[in-house]
Amino acid sequence: MLQHKDHFHGSDLEKIEQIYGIKKDEITSFSANVNPLGISPLLRETLARHIDAICSYPDREYLSLRKCIADYVNTDYENIIMGNGSTELISLLIQIQHPKKALIIGPTYSEYEREISLGGGTCLYYPLKEEQDFALNAEHFTAQLNESIDLVVICNPNNPTSSAITRKTMRHILDVCKQNDIFVMVDETYVEFADNYEEITSVPLTAFYNNIVILRGTSKFFAAPGLRLGYAITGNRDFIKLMNTRKNPWTINSLAVIAGEIMFQDKEYIQKTRKLISEERARIYQIFSKDNRFKVYPPSGNFMLVRLMSEGLTSNELFDRAIREKMMIRDCSTFPFLDNKYIRFCFMSQEMNDQLLSCLMQ
Ligand SMILES: Cc1ncc(COP(=O)(O)O)c(C=O)c1O
C-alpha cells in the first residue's frame, strides 16, 4: 500500500494519475464536493452561442451579473462584489483586513490560515469538539473573544465537519464581535446544499451588521470549479470600496459573466440539485448511523465526515481501498484536530454512492 504523507486536495486527480496509474477521467471524485449533476442544462445549451463575448472586455462593474446574484440571494446589488472564485475574495479580504490575530473555528478549510499567515498574521484555532458532534457551543466560543482578535473566520456549513450554525447564533456572535471590534468572514460555499438554508444563511444579517462579509462561489453547487466565479456579500459599502480599490480589473472573464447570469436563473436545476443532495444525505447518514464500525456527524453540506471506529483501520487504508476502485475520498488526517481515523466524502448519484458504500463498508 502506498503511504502518502501529502494529502490529496479534491482536485488533485493529476497527482493520483501519476502515483496510482489510474486515468483521471476514470476516477469519481467523492472528495471535490462538486454537484454530481454537472453544470446547469440551460448553461450547457446557451453558453456556446455567446462565444463572441470574449471579443470585448467585460463590464468593469459587472452590473448585470451583480443584479442577477442580488436576485438570487435576495439582497441589494450594491452589496455584491465579484471575485475569481471565492479564493480570490478570501485573499483580498485578508489582505485588506490584514489581521494581526485571527480566530478560526476549526477543523476547517486550510486556505484561511495560509492566507492569514502569508500576511504575517497569527492564527488561533477555536476547536469544535468531537464529543459535541463538532457543533459549535456559541456561549463558550463568544466567551473567548476579546479586543486582541481582529478577525473571526467561520465556514458555514463547515468543511470538513459539515456542521452548521443558525443565523440566530451568528447574530449573537456578530454582537459580541461588534463589541470587541472584530470583523467576521463567513464562508458560505456549501450553504445552498443545506435543507435549512433559510435558517442558516447569514445574508439577511448584512442589512444590520457592518462587521460581516459572506463569501460564496459557483464551484460546488453549480458544479463549475473551472469557471472561477465567486462573489462576496456585505452591507459595509466602505469595505466594498476598499475591495474595489485593491482588486485588479476584469478578474471575471466575459464568458464567466454570461455563465453566471444563466445559471443563477436555472430554477429547475437548482431544485433538482437540492432534492438529490437532500435525499442522498439522509439515506447515507442513516446507513452509516446503524453501523458501529463508523461514527457520523449530522451533515448540513453535500458531504459527510466519518470517524472510523474499528481498531487498526485508518483513513489512509480506506483512501487506498477506494482509489483502487477508482473512487477518491478525502483522507482527513491532515486537518488540524483530526487524525487518521477520519474520512470525508461528498454525495454523488445514488448509484455512485452505493458503489462507494459497498467499498467502504465491506
Ligand atoms: C470551504 C471552501 N471555501 C472555498 C473553496 C474554494 O472555492 P472557489 O473554487 O470558489 O475558489 C473551497 C474549495 O474546496 C472550500 O471548500
Q: Is the pLDDT of residue 3 over 60?
A: no
Q: How far apart are CA 102 and CA 318, in angstroms?
A: 34
Confidence label for 14 from pLDDT (cuts 50, 70 and 90): confident
Q: By C-alpha distance, which of 129, 77, 124, 79 is closest to 100?
A: 124
Tell me how far CA of residue 206 lies from CA of 209, 215, 226, 234, 340, in angstroms: 5, 12, 29, 5, 39
Confidence label for 8 from pLDDT (cuts 50, 70 and 90): low
Counting Cβ atoms within 10 Å, is residue 328 exposed (0-12), middle (13-18) or buried (19+)?
A: buried
What residue type is assigned to position 137 of the chain?
N
In this structure, the dihedral spanned by the alpha carbons of residues 337, 85, 38 and 58, taken in order and rounded to 10 degrees, is: 180
**What is the rounded average pLDDT of the residues 70-86?**
97
Q: How far apart are CA 125 and CA 336, in angstroms?
A: 9
Q: Is the pLDDT of residue 11 over 90?
A: no
SS3 26: helix
Q: Is the pLDDT of residue 124 over 50?
A: yes
**What is the rounded average pLDDT of the residues 215-234?**
98
Confidence label for 108 from pLDDT (cuts 50, 70 and 90): very high
SS3 47: helix
Q: How many CB atoms lie within 10 A of CB 271?
A: 10
Q: How far apart are CA 338 and CA 7, in angstroms?
A: 13
Contact indicator for 325, 360 with CB cutoff of 8 Å: no
**What is the rounded average pLDDT of the residues 336-342?**
97
Contact indicator for 101, 148 with CB cutoff of 8 Å: yes
Q: Is the pLDDT of residue 25 over 70?
A: yes
Which atom of ligand 1 is found nearest the CA of 216?
Answer: 10
Return the axis-axis angle of helices 315-324 and 13-20, rounded to nearest 10°: 80
- pLDDT score of 39: 98
Task: Give nearest CA residue, ligand 1 atom 7.
Answer: 86
String of DSSP letters for 233-295: E-S-HHHHHHHHHHSPTT-S-HHHHHHHHHHTT-HHHHHHHHHHHHHHHHHHHHHHHT-TTEE
SS3 4: coil
- pLDDT score of 9: 57
Q: Is the pLDDT of residue 5 over 80?
A: no
Task: Give nearest CA residue, ligand 1 atom 3.
Answer: 189
Confidence label for 7 from pLDDT (cuts 50, 70 and 90): low
Which atom of ligand 1 is found nearest the CA of 155?
Answer: 1
Q: How far apart are CA 41 and CA 161, in angstroms?
A: 31
Q: What are phi and psi of 127, to 5 degrees?
A: -80, 130
Output the CA angle 94-99-105, nearest 5 degrees. Answer: 80
Portion of the chain with pLDDT greater than 70, in percent: 97
Q: What is the pLDDT of residues 132-167, one digit of tens each?
A: 999 999 999 999 999 999 999 999 999 999 999 999
Instruction: Give the mutation target among 8, 86, 215 for probing the ligand 1 site: most ligand atoms within 8 A of CB.
Output: 86
Tell me how far the alpha carbon of residue 301 lies from the centroid of ligand 1, in angstroms: 13
Q: Which residues line ligand 1 (CB under 6 A)?
A: 10, 85-87, 109, 155, 159, 187, 189, 217, 219, 225, 230
What residue type is assigned to position 180 of the chain?
N
Tell me how far the alpha carbon of residue 90 lies from the centroid of ligand 1, in angstroms: 9
Beta strands 151-155; 122-127: pairing state: unpaired
What strands lie across the sheet with 342-346, from one edge to the other?
A: 294-296, 303-308, 342-346, 330-331
Question: Average per-residue pLDDT in the chain?
Answer: 95
Q: Is the pLDDT of residue 1 over 90?
A: no
Tell me how far the alpha carbon of residue 86 lies from the centroid of ligand 1, in angstroms: 6
